[in-house]
């Protein structure tokens, strides 16, 4: 998957988990806190991605993920490892 494909997959997962959010306005610089996605929502999103793809982003990295772009980069990085 390219980084753009990972980013689009992330947006699709967010939409599936939280259909009330308008993900069409989110870009790589959008911060999770600015979307009203709290820590539980963030955990749900990463858990869904892990369950669907087998890609595990270690919990130790979660605090450093503030934007959608950072999340997509972390997912892509762990796909490659």
Q: Where are the domains of the chain?
A: 3-80
CATH number of 3-80: 1.10.1200.10
Give the global pTM: 0.91
Task: Determine the Cα–Cα distance for residues 32 and 22; give it in Å rounded to an integer.
Answer: 13
pLDDT at position 48: 96
pLDDT at position 51: 95
Cβ pair 17, 51 in contact under 8 A: no
The CA-atom distances, in angstroms, between 7 and each of 11, 17 are 6, 15
Q: Which residues of the chain have pLDDT under 50?
A: none
pLDDT at position 1: 87
H-state helical runs in the chain: 3-17, 39-53, 68-80
């Amino acid at each position: 998957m390219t980084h753009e494909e990972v980013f689009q997959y992330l947006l699709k997962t967010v939409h599936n988990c939280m259909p009330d959010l308008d993900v069409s306005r989110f870009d790589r610089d959008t911060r999770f806190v600015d979307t009203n996605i709290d820590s539980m929502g963030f955990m749900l999103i990463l858990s869904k991605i892990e369950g669907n793809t087998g890609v595990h982003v270690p919990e130790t990295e979660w605090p450093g993920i503030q934007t959608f772009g950072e999340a997509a980069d972390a997912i892509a990085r762990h796909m490659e490892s």
